[in-house]
Chain A
Amino acid sequence: MSASPPASSPAASNGSEPIGAAFILRKAVLSALVALGLFSLMVGVRTEAGQSGQLEYWTRFGELASLVGAVFVGSIVVELLRLWLGPRGGLGSFVPSSVNSGLSVAGRYVAPALLIFTFLVPVIFYNQRYILDLGILVLTYVMLGWGLNVVVGLAGLLDLGYVAFYAVGAYSYGLLSTTFGLSFWICLPLAGILAAFWGVLLGFPVLRLRGDYLAIVTLAFGEIIRLVLINWQDVTGGPNGVSGIPRPSLFGIPLTPGPDGLAALLGIPFSPTHRIVFLFYLILALALLTNWVTIRLRRLPIGRAWEALREDEVACRALGINITTTKLTAFATGAMFGGFAGAFFATRQGFISPESFTFQESALVLAIVVLGGMGSQLGVALAALAMIGGFELFRSLEVYRMLVFGLAMVLVMIWRPRGIVGHRSPTVFLEKSKSISSDLVKEGHG
């Protein structure tokens, strides 16, 4: 399927060229030739190091032939499908419009339903530790996604180093609590403030950068933070990380089996699940705080300035908006939420090391934001659920997990190029809030 040249699809679909058996056959032969070229070395010849280190190779023409044949047949099938589905351009039309409009109607009820369900998860799945842990993980990424959404979705600043703020938050709590014995509830705001501070520090040098250049510098920033964590052994413990980070308490009441513990105070038998449920509601509260603040900020002048910045920076300057402070507040706000999430991560794990803060994490969070639809709160939540939960769902597929997962992502992006929830809802309206098509909304290039 991937080997069929997509460039010729408009010609095939708009009917300007007669689609006959010859046309389909020609495309199929072309696709097969491309496949032959691609696979002849990858599949057709197998090389291996022999016993004495010499190169051994043998040919696998049978496999090669079956692959090329599959591409040939597949190409014909795709063309026939296209013919059958009528003259509509693009693969997006494979999804009927009724499904799309049905989704937008359902969209109104998805958010409240999802919220109620999330609140009930610990009740429904009380005895299923695996589901609760997964729920906590998903909510952590929902929160990270919402935090990054401020920077990428609203302000349009492509940030590839978001994990740096997650790390700053985690290490802030980890080090402050193990060194000075500060409690989680004091460290949480401190972690947010420190992360916001680093957000501003990152913001200053990249103020004049846009698009790809901004992305590269933020990427480097994320790596710098990680390398500092690895190499500054005296403070951060280097690759060994920080261990023995205190677990959170319910405003001073520890969730332990001892006589001071919450279970003893309530007069109920102790169960380790209490702590998991507590953590679940803690990250849910933090995520909802992020959501609430973001929704409020969007309706305030600062939020509108972020979105205006994404739409047109030059026009912003002409309207007297200070680009510098607007960009820095976006970086700081996003970083602060990343810091909160980091502090939560540290208290949940009880152990942190630089390994948890690789580029992979940044990429994952960014993928959640892009997949969800930049700027959309609901979309990001759904995308986090799909990315983290879906990845677990495919666990039974073992080695094919990544393949299936990648394919699913590609399909979603073909179906909805601007994310699951691509449209934008206005922040203020006179009579009726009309959602704005994603075609008009800029993606932002820094």
Chain B
Amino acid sequence: MSSAPILALENLTMRFGGIVAVNALSFSAARGQITALIGPNGAGKTTVFNCITGFYKPTSGVIRLTHDDGTQFEMQKLKDFNISKQAKVARTFQNIRLFPGMTALENLMVAQHNALMRASGFTLLGLLGVPSWRAAEKSAIDNAVFWLKRVGLLDRADDAAGNFAYGDQRRLEIARAMCTAPSLLCLDEPAAGLNARESGALSELLLSIRSDHGTSILLIEHDMSVVMEISDRVVVMDYGVKIAEGTPREIRDDPKVIAAYLGTDEEEAAAVLEAEA
């Protein structure tokens, strides 16, 4: 077990033309913990996510991922698909990106593409239907069934994902990400659009993913009840820089955070926050 944090960002900078979306950001996500990345709209959270998951190439800086066995990856150098394939980082999207015309089960099978490709001898053995391929397919289906059961969608395994209710789609997307057997799971606003009961169930799911599967989680979230309930650490961003970092309790009382969210009049902001809590 490596003692290094699973994910470490060092001076990550992302420029779009003249706009600096992320400016020399450094933080780390501890192994086996849930780290939340919060901040007001436009703070650059999703940009950080897109850099980590390879959708953007950062202008400068290092994103270092360390597996349990000590293997390190500099993710800004990896090709986008290798971030999931080799570095084992899975993500979900702010606007859900399932394969709507495929069933829930198929969605989870696609997630196991790389393992299945190897098992099918890069299609040749699979075309001939050799027993080892059949066994691999069977175990992939079992894995998919496990995760469908885990998110409570087993009875809908054969329904098209596009027909699912919004909250179910969110959970299916998390199940799909988990089917890639990730070491780090990145969730972009997983509670957006969920009602109180659903976000409660989501919190439970994420806590159990962390404790039962040892998967580290990095999440962007606006729903503070979820963030405060499940996060081990919170990183706060505003205007592309980190303005605070700490436990949920520390963050809640941090005047800089309150200022970023509610404007500069700190006394007033604190009062509002008190009333909310």
Contacts and interface: CB of A to CB of B under 8 A. Distances in A.
Interface in A272-314: 293, 296-297, 300-302, 304-305, 307-308, 310-312, 314
A83 to B, nearest CB: 34
B171 interface: no
Instruction: Name, among A311, A312, A433, A442, the residue most crowded by chain B CB atoms within 10 Å (CB to CB).
Output: A311
A7 interface: no
Nearest to B122: A302
Contacts of B126: 296, 300-301
Nearest to B83: A320
Interface string B75-95: 000001111110000110100
Nearest to A301: B116
Counting chain B CB atoms within 10 Å of each CB, which of A301, A323, A329, A427 scores highest? A301
B158 A433 contact: yes
Contacts of A315: 93, 97-99
A440 B102 CA distance: 8
Contact of B127 (A297, A310, A436): A297
A296 B127 contact: yes
Given A297-B123, A433-B158, A319 B110 contact: yes
A434 B159 contact: yes
A263 interface: no
Nearest to B129: A296
Contacts of A320: 81-85, 113-114, 180
Given A297-B127, A300-B123, A307-B99, A440 B162 contact: yes
A180 B143 CA distance: 54
Contacts of A436: 101-103, 160
Given A319-B84, A320-B85, A430-B157, A440 B100 contact: yes
Contacts of B145: 430
B120 A304 contact: no
A304 B109 contact: yes
A432 interface: yes
A401 B271 CA distance: 81
Given A300-B126, A318-B53, A440-B101, A305 B113 contact: yes
A317 B81 contact: yes
Interface string B38-76: 000000000000000111000000000000000000000
A211 interface: no
A322 B54 CA distance: 13
Interface string A57-101: 000000000000000000000000000000000000000000000
B113 A424 contact: no
Nearest to A429: B158
Contacts of A56: none
B111 interface: yes
B180 A319 contact: yes
Nearest to A430: B157
Contact of B160 (A305, A318, A440): A440
B260 interface: no
Contacts of A310: 101
B105 interface: yes
B97 A307 contact: no
Contacts of A304: 102, 106, 109-110, 113
Interface string B124-160: 0011010000000000010001000000000001111
A426 interface: yes
A429 B103 contact: yes
A293 B102 contact: no
B211 interface: no
A388 interface: no
A356 interface: no
Contact of B81 (A311, A321, A329, A440): A321
A442 B101 contact: yes
Contact of A321 (B102, B113, B120): B113
A95 to B, nearest CB: 24
A378 to B, nearest CB: 18
B127 A311 contact: no
Contacts of B127: 293, 296-297, 300
Nearest to B110: A308
Given A305-B113, A308-B110, A319 B158 contact: no
A319 B182 CA distance: 10
Interface string A393-429: 0000000000000000000000000000000101111
26 contacts: A300-B116, A301-B116, A301-B126, A308-B99, A308-B110, A308-B113, A314-B93, A315-B93, A315-B99, A317-B81, A318-B97, A318-B177, A319-B110, A319-B180, A320-B84, A320-B85, A320-B113, A321-B113, A427-B109, A428-B105, A428-B109, A430-B141, A430-B145, A434-B160, A440-B100, A440-B163
Given A318-B90, A431-B158, A440-B100, 9 more contacts: A304-B113, A305-B110, A318-B84, A319-B110, A329-B123, A428-B141, A430-B105, A430-B141, A430-B145
**Leading 8 A-B pairs by shortest Cβ distance:** A320-B84, A441-B101, A320-B85, A440-B162, A311-B99, A301-B116, A315-B97, A300-B126
